[in-house]
Structure formats: structure tokens, C-alpha cells
Amino acid sequence: MKNRFGWDSPEKETSENYINKCISFVKNDELFNNFKRDKDFQKILEGNELVVGQVALASIDNKNKRGMVVDNLYQFKENEKIGNPQLCFFSGIGEVAPSTLRYVNTYLEIKELLGSDLPYRIVEIGGGYGGLCKILSSVFNFKEYVLIDLPEVIALCKKYISHFHELEGRVKFFSVADIQSINLPDIDLVIADSSLAECSSETQMLYTKLILNKSKYIYMIYNTLHDPKGPSNFKKILKSLKNYYGKVEPTLNSKFKPAWNIRIVRLKRIEAENYSAPIITGKHLSILFYIKHTIFNLRRYLIEFKILF
């Protein structure tokens, strides 16, 4: 399972369990009805931890958008009708799945990037079960939403999305096995939420060439924690996006402070009038970032070989 179609991040047991659970959810309706509570599935997707919602809500509050969330909560919670997610109580919000708040915060990040532009064709690399697609469908009247993931995960996406009739005919599904043959012109928005960083360096550059570089806007979250080569791989991606400008900033961690290892990337393709606009990289290339990353991986190496106790 390691490096399957370029997926190179999780431990073998974790990734195998995840894929096998996706297969079982598709085949067994009883398991599908509760799939969001499955512990093996949660290790990759649909984290139900309270802190996931707390971090998202803190980011929402930083944008002064809690009122918007409350006003549209009924629509957002449509995503919770399938899969029986664990709900948590949030003051001023009520009972909500933490992942719902996370997806809503992602929407707000994307809306800030797009401004008044409307995304008619959206491509999501690593679409999971389709939860973000469902959330965005309540706020964007997109014409086409393309989900790209492993074959077994795409099968789960199809089953999940089929429960929402308003999405019929508007969502397309592609397996990563067919990535070389995918032709997607006129992309308005590419989303890669914590997915690219889990791929091999070669696969990351392939997605960058075939998909990211064809989009008007790019929204990406890149987590370098698991990979010693994470920072250098990230630099390669940014360097290849030479026709884009925008911001690369830290996201929040569980203590509601900037996370040194997770970058949030919001870029727009350079048009003629903005040709000199740069990518504002903030702190992600700082010496401190690389020092922390090196220390983390050294400590993990020492623990793995029982040198550090």
C-alpha cells in the first residue's frame, strides 16, 4: 500500500486499514450508515476530535464570521445527515460535527482568495468522501466539481454524493490511476487540502504540472510534519508556480497559535496587469522553520531506533 499511485505518507497498516474500510463502506450499507465514526477511517479522514472544531472556530472568529456560520448552519449541517458523525457542542453554535466547522472555515479561506469571482469548475485533489464538495455546494453555484482520489476512495465518494440529488450531474470522479490522461481545461479553482504533502515528490510535481498550473486560483494546505523532505518538496512546488502570486501563511494549531509545520497557500494566476506581483511567503522559509523541522525529524529518528528515551 505504501506509495500506491504516489500516495506516500501514512504507515502501511494505517493506509491498508483505510482503503479496506472504504471498500467495506461501499459494499455494506449498514457500515456506510456509520462510516464517519469508524476509528480506522478517522485516522485519515473525518477527525471527530473536539479540538478540530475548536481550531476551526477560532479561525472563523478571527475572520469575524461566526454570525455567518450561525445564519447558514442548517445548510452546512446537511453534510451530517449521511454517515452518522460524532457531534460536539460549541458555545454559540450548538451541536456540530467538528469536521463541518473545519470545512466551513476552508470555505471562508477560499472566499477570501476568490473575492467576487465565482468558481464554475472546481477540482479537488484528494477529495475524501466528498464532504467539502457538499459544503461548498451550499455556498457556490458551481457547474462542475471534479474529485480526484484513489480508486477505492472514489467509489466511496460516488456512493456518498449520490445521496444529494442537487449534485446529480455536477460532480465528476477521477481515479488517480488515470491522472496522466485527465484533461481539465479552464479550471477556476484547485483545492488540495493536506493531500499533496502525502504524495511522493514526483507525484506532487505531476499534479502541479497537470492540474495546479492550469487553474486560475489555488488553495492548498501543506503539512510538512511527516516528511523530512517536506520543506524542500514545498519549495519545489512554489518555484514551479512562477505564474502565480498570493500568500503562504501558517495555519492555526491545536493551541490556536500559528502552526510552524502547516502552510496555507492561496494563489491567483498572474494576469498581464499583475505580472510583477510576488508570492508573499511570510515565515515559511525562515531559518526557524527549518530548525524546528530538523529537530522534529531528528527526535523521531532517535525514538524510532530507541536511542532517545
Looking at residue 177, what is its pLDDT? 86
- b/e per residue 52-63 (b: at least 16 CB within 10 A): bbbbbbbbbeee
Q: What are the E-state strand segments in the chain? A: 88-90, 94-96, 121-125, 144-149, 171-175, 187-193, 215-223, 244-252, 258-269, 279-280
Q: Output the pLDDT for position 1.
A: 46
Give the pLDDT of residue 309: 47
Predicted confidence at residue 260, as pLDDT, reads 74
- Hey, is 93 helix, strand or coil? coil
Q: Which of 209, 210, 213 is nearest to 182 (CA)?
A: 210
Contacts of 19-24 with C-beta under 8 Å, sequence gap 24+, read 19/150, 19/152, 19/153, 22/150, 22/152, 22/153, 22/155, 22/156, 23/152, 23/155
Range 141-147, long-range pairs (CB < 8 A, 24+ positions):
142/170, 143/170, 144/120, 144/170, 144/171, 144/172, 145/121, 145/170, 145/171, 145/172, 146/121, 146/122, 146/171, 146/172, 146/173, 146/174, 146/184, 147/171, 147/172, 147/173, 147/174
Hey, what's the cell of 31? Answer: 457500515
Say if residues 132 and 126 touch (Cβ distance below 8 Å): no
Q: Which residues of 88-100 are buried (b: 16+ CB within 10 A; e: fewer)?
A: bebeebeebbbbb
Report pLDDT for 211. 94
Tens of pLDDT along the chain (309 residues)?
A: 455 677 776 677 888 899 999 999 999 999 999 999 999 898 888 667 899 999 999 999 999 999 999 999 999 999 999 999 999 999 999 999 999 999 999 999 999 999 999 999 999 999 999 999 999 999 999 999 999 999 999 999 999 999 999 999 999 999 988 888 888 888 999 999 989 988 989 999 999 999 999 999 999 999 887 777 888 899 999 999 989 999 998 888 888 888 878 889 999 999 755 655 667 766 555 566 667 667 766 665 565 555 554
**φ and ψ of 139, to 5 deg:** -125, -20
Here the contacts of 269-278 (C-beta below 8 Å, separation 24 or greater) are: 269/215, 269/216, 269/217, 269/243, 269/244, 270/243, 270/244, 270/245, 274/245, 277/245, 278/245
CA 168, 72, 58, 247 dihedral sign is positive
The pTM of the full predicted model, rounded to 2 decimals, is 0.89
C-alpha cell at 216: 486560475
Please report the domains of the chain, with CATH numbers, ordered by start residue: 12-304 (3.40.50.150)
β-pair partners for 246: 267, 279
Query: Pairing relation of β-strands 94-96 and 215-223?
Result: unpaired
